[in-house]
Structure 1
Amino acid sequence: MNLRRILPLLPALFLLLCSPGSSSAKETAPPASSCFSTGWPQDQIDLKPDPALTFGTLENGVRYMIMPNKEPKNRVGLYLNVQAGSLHETEAQRGAAHYLEHMLFNGTRHYPAGKLVEYFQSIGMAFGPDTNAHTSYDETVYKLLLPDGGEKHLDEGLLVLADYAAGALLEPKEVERERGIILAEKRERDSASRRVFKADMEQGFAGTLVAQRDVIGTDEVLKTADAALLRQYYQQWYRPGKMIVVAVGDTKVELAEALIKKHFGPLKDEEKQPVCPDFGQVAEGGISAFYQREPDLGHTELTLASVWNTKPEAFTKTAALRRLQEGVAATMLNNRLQRLTSSKGSPLTSAYFYSSIMLGRVGFSSMKAKSSAGQWQASLELLNLTLRQALIEGFAEPELKRAKKEVMSQLRQAAESAASRKSDEIAAVLVSLINSDEVPLSPQQELELYGPALEALTLAEVNQSFRSLWPERRLIKAAGTLDLSGSGPSPEERLLAVFKAAEAAELKPWTAQAEAVFPYLPEPEQAAELTGCVAHGKIGAETCTFSNGLILNLKKTDFEPNELQLAAVFGKGLLAESKPGLAVLAKMLLPESGVGKLDQEQLRAALAKYSFVLNFGVDEESFQFKGQALKSETEPLFQLLRSRLDDPAFRADAFARVMRKIEQLYAQMASSVEGVMQLRGENFLAGGNSRYGLPPLEALQKLTLAEIEGWLAPALREESLEISVVGDFDQEQVLKLAAKYFGGPRKGSQQGAGTTIAFPAGQQLKLNVATATGKALAAVAWPTDDFWDIARTRRLGVLAAVLDDRLRKQIRESLGAAYSPYVYNQSSTVDPGHGVLRAVLLAEPGQAGLLAKKLRQAGAELAAGKVTQEELTRALEPTLTSIRDMVRTNRYWLDSVLISSSRHPQRLDWPTTIQSDFAAVKPEEIAALAAKYLQPDKAAEIILLPEAPTKEDAVPSALPADKTENAAEAGSRTAPGPKL
């Protein structure tokens, strides 16, 4: 467990943009003004790194870290960390760091333009999941997840990274071609929340370079950047002394080390170092207010924050333990905010606190809350009161006791599940830690370091740590749906007046919450008797039945040590929905209500010492609880499941909160083309069937708490259960717990039946969306088939992958008209014959209609033509690699095999054929499916346009603006689908 998870960093969604001889010499850390780091954080301090790590430094300054790891089996994560990003750009280069990141996929010394992605696909690596990159303020990171750890692929992977480091071709024609993709990415990432975040950075960090450097860059630079500009940045900052190679995975350390030396040893460093940027400083005194009207956000966001200047410091034991204290304090404040949010009549719909150090130079603390526009003043006053209570009165011993339990449970969970960590995830954490000059510790080291300190931590120490996170500077902000325009005081003056009045108000004390006890239900009066078990030898699983009808599916695995996953399935789910919207509200209401004897916040407090989770969902044909726990938490997980089933709660105050959240969510969705696709598009593709997509808000607002309880409570208490458990567990214990806690009588339920879905073949849905975001959505869909012919469903997935790859080349690479077109097939498990294959993209509004025609054309060409073996290989090899990884996860065995296997026994056969069946796919099979399903007359089209389209971006594709008139509206709502 990394303690930075307790004090969350700024949302990564907006910080990141996707797309030799060992030396033991100890280096002195560079001065704070330098942007060049040498040596390793542990060289001069009292913390030792994870002993599994091997560190090295080449003569040219390239550093490397190597760590053996067994999951995923036979795979290796290779990362090239360049310690330079948007902060290192000049004014004339704004956007060059990210532009350059794109260009390194478009021609290097050993991989000409257009060849690298296809090479990755041919060896079983998916573009995106297995090969990607991101650019941030102070780093650019290139990521490979190799299909195996043998010498051949490790050698080739490091050759690719070395090409990134020093072999960029930066051909002018490729720079020009990539321009449209960069602009499309900028447009695609635009959103209300993105604009609010950008304003937060500009306002909160005013005076620093961070406030001036939006990572993706400026339109002015992006539309004029040429090869010379990019090469200038490349030569300045892509130098051995700013590079770290990270290799984590199922390979030999000696082999990885030798190949790193081979490929990175020859790199040369320029003698003259570039000038490091002046980071700047924030103002440290006074109060500032900021207001941002952003109706598309769907809610009003209130913020209280503080910022202060600091200097980079070594990650010593003292610094680490100080972070622990700050993390515990943050946990306590977040617990208070959760309690306030769940309190009856609260103006808040969510609230959280985070604190961190930005790039070692600026500290920041922030309390953020969502509310409605009409309750902004009450929300701001409540945030201020909560902060004052914590700063002036401090926290209480019971709060510290709970926070210690929560932090300790995270430490233990990380240590006990360390063996199941994935190599690419470890590599990403190592890069993050090293770029923050922190010593990478193993989870066990963290437990040994922080555990005793946590136990000895006093309330006085935590209170003092919390106060240190709130120096004099205050920032007050309101953003979103709140409208403070009009005559009289300015919006900022009104915010300041409310804040100052709240500061002067009488300080009301924080009211402590009574300590809750769990479990609270009496021991069950009767246990079920085990009537027999049937072994499924081919897949190493077992199904046991009990005298009351309980079914228990079990599969023990060893690839995620000390962890188990559980699913409890009952009832008919969406098939039993008597009124549209019951499922949507029930999924939110049940967890929000807690359980019978404990409300949501009391339950959280009572479970503080555990790390397990248990979530509720409504599937096409069943209700489901899904959980994940450590092996040592097996019984508490079963106890919580029993409470959820036997003693559910349907609280009126929780229902009111859920409705407020729903209204805010719908308002946000209605203000973006992506949201309207869910609200309208998916239901259109299902012929208006109410089980598909989201119901109209008006339908949800008419539903009552009594109707939800009347629909769900009988299923929770009475419907027969099928429980599946996968992972590292004690089988005898699980059998006894299932018999003990679920031994009462339950009546069986008949399996529900679906209906025929009328796909809107040949129809179009074209809508205008009231939004300030200048992008459109175009989608073309074709009817396919239902789920249960598994060989067909697998091949439909391959067909989608083939079409996806064609669109990548045609729409993204050739036209530069969309950043990430994607294709996926979704087949129903309940409605006979129903499935939909979709091709979706986000585009410049003037191009949407023509790009929809391009999607149609791509489908028609695939239906009328052939699939080459080369195309199939590019689509299929990454799939086969993914399958090899997937079958070694508990999630696969739970969700794809055991769950509902009593209803669908064929699930138990699927693992025996999944790898061989996919490997046997032939080009002519995919071509035949295309010919059957992708006929032009079967296609349906969705075009969603912003109400006031923005001026057309410069897209080097020569696509004329679309002139199609609006078609008649159809359908009313939609459901989100997975992206490949």
Structure 2
Amino acid sequence: MMNLNKALSAAVLALLIAGSTNAQVKRKPSPSPRSKPVPAAAALRPANLLPVDDNVLIGKLPNGLTYYIRHNEQPQNRAELYLVNKAGSILETDAQQGLAHFTEHMAFNGTRDFPKNQLVDFLQKSGVKFGADLNAYTSFDETVYQLPLPTDSATVFEKGFNILANWAGYVTFDPAEIDKERGVVLEEARMRGKNAQERLSLQTLPVLLNNSRYASRVPIGKEDILKTFDAATIKSFYSDWYRPNLQAVIAVGDFDVKRVEALIKANFSGLKNPVGEKQRTEYNVAPTPGTVVKIATDKEFPYTLAQIIVKHPQTVVKTIPGYMQSLRVSLFNFMLNQRLNELQQKPEPPFLYARSSYAPLIGRQDAFSSVVVSKPDGLETAVKAVVAETERARKFGFTLTELERAKQSALAGIQNAYYERTKTNSANYVREYQLNFLKGEGMPGIEFEYNFYINNINKITVAEMNALAGKFISDQNRVIIVEGPDKDKDKLPDESTILKWIGTAGNNVAAYVDNVTSKPLMEKEPEGTKVVAETSNEAIGTTTLTLGNGVKVILKPTQFQNDQILINGYSFGGTSLANDNDYTSASLSASIIGSSGISEFNQGQLDKMLAGKNVSITPYIGDITQGIRGSASPNDLETALQLIYLYFTQPRKDADIWQGTINQTKSLLINRGLDPNSVYQDTLSAVLSNNNFRGGATTVERLNGTSLDKAYSFYKDRFADASGFTFVLVGNFNPVLIKPILETYLGALPSTNKKETFKNLKMYPAPGQITKTVYKGMDDKASVQLIYSGSYVFNEANNLQMDALEEVLNIKLVERLREQESGIYAPGIRANYIKNPEGRYTITIVFTCAAANVDKLIAATLDEINKIKQTGAQPADIQKFVAEEARSTQVQLKQNVSWAGLLGSASQNDLDPNGILSHVKNLDQITVQSTKETAVKYLNNNNLAKVILMPEKK
């Protein structure tokens, strides 16, 4: 089944930013005591300005460079170093379009102290991975470089400030390096664009942005300029705008603050602002009187959607009244989208997807935006439905019970952040300081925010909330965008028609009725079973319990997060046990049940019951397993266990959810064939599953053969016997104290001792050489996947060698295909290996390129592979992998999510979980000879599938 939200994200998020929170808490928390005296600076602050977090040191050098420094120990022995430039594509001249982004690329291709590629090479050898850790981005208004570094190596850490200074003022722009990078940037443009979404954006952005400078300065730039600009033109942009009075250095991590301040002064004080510097113009988007409508279509766009965007001047939250208003806005967004979610639970939902929110927009604007994706022939129904909800809120407002739930949700989010204040990742602070530098956003710190929420949120009234809809909704400075496939152009409304739909949508709306229940989730506790066996693993700090019904529970208490417990449970079986006729019903069963509520409560009622709780539990059924995934705060662990018990014993059959899902999935399939990537994915799936229909996309014919009874029956069967289940709990708990509730709920799960396992359906690529080419798409854009596959002996030694081969391949293909050939932006290399249902591996190499370069780049890829097979990896490349793997392992050993994955994998694959403790030591098993042997064994051209997407032949 398609993931609708994921499928629509490109279309929806291109213009809109969602603004709501899902975390929830039950009780109003107590204020935190102020452990520190109020700083003298705070006493001088104007009464309505937000305070500044006194845990961050803010300073400015004589040349104007701003710095933010904060000590933070999450993760330990690590730091986040950022260089933020108030220089983006908006500052480009007509001749420089695309060169703000190109400058970002050149910062990695030669600076005063790091010629050519030496910077990336040095960092990789220090354990920093290019693209994953070391990265940068360019937007309209800023360019930001991120450099995560270890702090337990003084040499590497201190060199980081030299690197930031080189980016800030000493990029060399070697003409030869510029010419090599042209192809890379053009290939990035090809990979991210050359599709229906980009073509539609070119039609709609000038309307949305009122033909402002923002509309003509999309960061990727213009292809003809990228191909032909000279070094002087890009140097001019760099010298004009990369200057200390437009730059900030942000350093957050496990270090001495005063030492870091000295490093910043030493490395950045020598930077100078240009003589006769240009004024940094603040560009805006002029408001448009009335409403502007734009209808846009594209041959390959598979959806029909409408966006209604009411633009407002940007609000920068820097005062206490502004902060209070931002809290009201978040509550408004939450409540409105809860109503839209309820509409999707109907048997005939009026839309496939809908969201409304007030949030920042491009070009120093905020906007109240509604986006709705419809069935191909249902745009009127969809538009009227989403507009009716905003009109319902405007005319009748919200209910007291809705507002109370929204407040509980907001309190949960802030309480979680406060509880985790000593465990907050450094990158979270960086984002806050970045917004302060770029926009002037307040940064009062979590203690102030927490106390502000609990002291003020209950002052917000229904009347205040109801006034927001009238403030946000207007027919002035409004843009309406309709997008759809070319083939449905005659079904799309004209301007007067869509205005009529919107104008009349709220005519007959009635006040919202909040359907809530006061019943508890469970009337009484079940009779559980006691622990019948208990073992401990002191080396990794786990306890394994066996309950009387056969359920096994692996407990790993940690202090990595203060307010988190992760829960994962599994047993073998999955959809492999469904017969072919029932497979499609079986594959839908867990998602249907997981969206249908529980026991006697429908999903809407359940969501409302769980307001005030920080808990999420979801059942799943995969190919060979079924189980439960979820998380909870320590205070809500019992609720999580109750949900698990009910998903086993009282799953809810909801005919409305079933019918709605089937109808929506059929609607999505109607235009699926328009999208080149969907067509390509079908061929890939066929190759990867050896043409097994289970590996392919769902079809209307298959959906017509499904039934809720079959799905429900299959789900019930998969969760009828918990005796084969293993649960892993990782997080902040005391194993002794939680044992009674584990016995009560997990110990009460049904047990029949069927001792089931999966069936091996042999869904893997056929042996031999396979070449499949799909011709689909208008643009000069090709996608290539090379897939090596075969039998595999799954063990820690082999897995380590495969991981090393994956990274060595990545390094060599970046060097060859990107740096040398200038033919791609970034390769994707993935070594995947499994033990169940049988030992198999695939090594997949993915890249996007120009159609004319496909054969050349495949040949170059095979050439690099052949070199590794002949001589093994370069020692320097092995050094990079070992450094990266050692660094990442150190971080992962301090993360709940990593331990949950490790313990679950060890259990499913019958591995020794203690192996993680010797993982770093075992990295010395990676040698030139071992990489050669691994490449020869697994990169066998006799078992190679080539699956290629080419543009349509003209």
- TM-score, normalised to structure 2, is 0.91
* Partner Cα separation in structure 1 for residue 922 and residue 623 of structure 2: 26
Question: Alpha-carbon deviation of 1:295?
Answer: 5.1
> 1:201 maps to what in 2?
205
DSSP-derived class of the 2:719 partner: helix
> 2:4 maps to what in 1?
none
Q: 1:152 to 1:900 in 2, by over 3 A?
A: closer
Kindly indicate whether residue 878 of structure 2 is the aligned counterpart of residue 877 of structure 1: no
Retained in 2: the 8 A contact 1:367–1:383? yes
Retained in 2: the 8 A contact 1:145–1:424? no
Q: 1:490 to 1:837 in 2, by over 3 A?
A: closer
* Partner Cα separation in structure 2 for residue 909 and residue 518 of structure 1: 45
* Partner Cα separation in structure 1 for residue 68 and residue 11 of structure 2: 26
Question: Alpha-carbon deviation of 1:586?
Answer: 2.9
Kindly indicate whether residue 480 of structure 2 is the aligned counterpart of residue 476 of structure 1: yes
Question: Alpha-carbon deviation of 1:850?
Answer: 3.1
Aligned AA for 2:930? E
Question: Alpha-carbon deviation of 1:128?
Answer: 1.3
> 1:542 maps to what in 2?
543
> 1:973 maps to what in 2?
none
* Partner Cα separation in structure 1 for residue 150 and residue 669 of structure 2: 42
> 1:557 maps to what in 2?
558
Q: 1:460 to 1:645 in 2, by over 3 A?
A: same
* Partner Cα separation in structure 1 for residue 457 and residue 70 of structure 2: 29
Q: 1:429 to 1:761 in 2, by over 3 A?
A: farther
Retained in 1: the 8 A contact 2:49–2:320? yes
Report matched runs for 1:344-355 at 5 Å: 344-355=347-358
> 2:514 maps to what in 1?
513
DSSP-derived class of the 1:783 partner: strand
User: Which of 298-307 and 139-148 deviates more?
Assistant: 298-307
Q: Deviations over 1:433-466 (max 9, x none)?
A: 4322112233332111122211111011112233
> 1:930 maps to what in 2?
935
Q: 1:923 to 1:291 in 2, by over 3 A?
A: same
DSSP-derived class of the 1:330 partner: helix
Retained in 2: the 8 A contact 1:776–1:842? yes
Question: Alpha-carbon deviation of 1:642?
Answer: 1.9
> 1:842 maps to what in 2?
848
Q: Deviations over 1:837-893 (max 9, x none)?
A: 111111112222332233233223322232221121123321221111112111121
Match of 1:635 among 634, 638, 656: 638
Question: Alpha-carbon deviation of 1:734?
Answer: 2.4
* Partner Cα separation in structure 2 for residue 669 and residue 111 of structure 1: 48
> 1:944 maps to what in 2?
949
Retained in 2: the 8 A contact 1:101–1:140? yes
Kindly indicate whether residue 129 of structure 2 is the aligned counterpart of residue 123 of structure 1: no
Report matched runs for 1:326-365 at 5 Å: 326-358=329-361, 361-365=364-368
* Partner Cα separation in structure 1 for residue 16 and residue 811 of structure 2: 28
DSSP-derived class of the 1:175 partner: helix
Match of 1:920 among 925, 929, 932: 925
DSSP-derived class of the 1:609 partner: coil
* Partner Cα separation in structure 2 for residue 946 and residue 298 of structure 1: 17
Kindly indicate whether residue 216 of structure 2 is the aligned counterpart of residue 212 of structure 1: yes
Instruction: Give the fraction of aligned pairs with identical amino acids, expressed as a percent.
Output: 23
* Partner Cα separation in structure 2 for residue 578 and residue 416 of structure 1: 48
Retained in 2: the 8 A contact 1:151–1:255? no
Aligned AA for 1:396? T
Match of 2:254 among 226, 232, 250: 250
Match of 2:817 among 804, 811, 825: 811
Q: 1:796 to 1:9 in 2, by over 3 A?
A: closer
* Partner Cα separation in structure 2 for residue 426 and residue 392 of structure 1: 40
Report matched runs for 1:435-446 at 5 Å: 435-446=438-449
DSSP-derived class of the 2:922 partner: helix
User: Which of 542-551 and 205-214 deviates more?
Assistant: 205-214
* Partner Cα separation in structure 2 for residue 135 and residue 648 of structure 1: 48
Retained in 1: the 8 A contact 2:599–2:652? yes
* Partner Cα separation in structure 2 for residue 936 and residue 899 of structure 1: 30
> 1:306 maps to what in 2?
310
> 2:69 maps to what in 1?
66
DSSP-derived class of the 2:95 partner: helix
Q: Deviations over 1:611-667 (max 9, x none)?
A: 322233334431121112222221122122222222212322212332344346556
Retained in 2: the 8 A contact 1:679–1:695? no
> 1:594 maps to what in 2?
597
User: Which of 221-230 and 258-267 deviates more?
Assistant: 221-230
Retained in 1: the 8 A contact 2:567–2:630? yes
> 1:969 maps to what in 2?
none
Report matched runs for 1:769-918 at 5 Å: 769-786=775-792, 788-898=794-904, 901=907, 904-918=909-923
Q: 1:927 to 1:897 in 2, by over 3 A?
A: same
* Partner Cα separation in structure 2 for residue 193 and residue 648 of structure 1: 40
Q: 1:280 to 1:184 in 2, by over 3 A?
A: same
Aligned AA for 2:543? E
Question: Alpha-carbon deviation of 1:276?
Answer: 3.3
Q: 1:500 to 1:680 in 2, by over 3 A?
A: same
DSSP-derived class of the 1:289 partner: strand
* Partner Cα separation in structure 1 for residue 274 and residue 542 of structure 2: 60
Aligned AA for 1:139? E
Q: 1:200 to 1:510 in 2, by over 3 A?
A: farther
* Partner Cα separation in structure 2 for residue 450 and residue 857 of structure 1: 60
DSSP-derived class of the 1:718 partner: coil
* Partner Cα separation in structure 1 for residue 96 and residue 144 of structure 2: 19
* Partner Cα separation in structure 1 for residue 104 and residue 47 of structure 2: 33
Q: 1:195 to 1:738 in 2, by over 3 A?
A: farther
5+ long unaligned stretches in structure 1: 1-7, 17-25, 28-40, 950-980
Retained in 1: the 8 A contact 2:84–2:143? yes
Question: Alpha-carbon deviation of 1:692?
Answer: 4.5
Question: Alpha-carbon deviation of 1:338?
Answer: 1.0
User: Which of 367-376 and 293-302 deviates more?
Assistant: 293-302
* Partner Cα separation in structure 2 for residue 78 and residue 948 of structure 1: 48
Kindly indicate whether residue 773 of structure 2 is the aligned counterpart of residue 767 of structure 1: yes
User: Which of 724-733 and 248-257 deviates more?
Assistant: 724-733
Retained in 1: the 8 A contact 2:200–2:297? no
Question: Alpha-carbon deviation of 1:795?
Answer: 1.0
- TM-score, normalised to structure 1, is 0.88
Report matched runs for 1:37-436 at 5 Å: 46-190=49-193, 191-197=195-201, 199-277=203-281, 279-294=283-298, 296-309=300-313, 315-358=318-361, 361-436=364-439
Aligned AA for 1:702? G
* Partner Cα separation in structure 1 for residue 221 and residue 121 of structure 2: 28
Question: Alpha-carbon deviation of 1:764?
Answer: 2.8
User: Which of 561-570 and 426-435 deviates more?
Assistant: 426-435
Q: 1:716 to 1:445 in 2, by over 3 A?
A: farther
* Partner Cα separation in structure 1 for residue 169 and residue 881 of structure 2: 30
Retained in 2: the 8 A contact 1:554–1:726? yes
Q: 1:663 to 1:793 in 2, by over 3 A?
A: farther
* Partner Cα separation in structure 1 for residue 837 and residue 119 of structure 2: 41
* Partner Cα separation in structure 2 for residue 663 and residue 443 of structure 1: 46
Question: Alpha-carbon deviation of 1:701?
Answer: 4.4
> How many residue pairs are counted as aligned between the two chains?
915
Q: Deviations over 1:890-918 (max 9, x none)?
A: 112111224672x5442423323322223
Q: 1:948 to 1:332 in 2, by over 3 A?
A: farther
User: Which of 742-751 and 602-611 deviates more?
Assistant: 742-751
* Partner Cα separation in structure 2 for residue 433 and residue 713 of structure 1: 52
* Partner Cα separation in structure 1 for residue 15 and residue 513 of structure 2: 37
Report matched runs for 1:532-681 at 5 Å: 532-579=533-580, 580-582=583-585, 584-663=587-666, 670-681=673-684
* Partner Cα separation in structure 1 for residue 932 and residue 905 of structure 2: 33
Question: Alpha-carbon deviation of 1:144?
Answer: 0.5
> 1:954 maps to what in 2?
none
Aligned AA for 2:920? Q
* Partner Cα separation in structure 2 for residue 839 and residue 14 of structure 1: 32
DSSP-derived class of the 1:780 partner: strand
Aligned AA for 1:852? I
Q: 1:875 to 1:469 in 2, by over 3 A?
A: same
RMSD in angstroms over aligned alpha carbons? 2.8
Q: 1:485 to 1:538 in 2, by over 3 A?
A: closer
DSSP-derived class of the 1:566 partner: strand
Kindly indicate whether residue 730 of structure 2 is the aligned counterpart of residue 726 of structure 1: yes
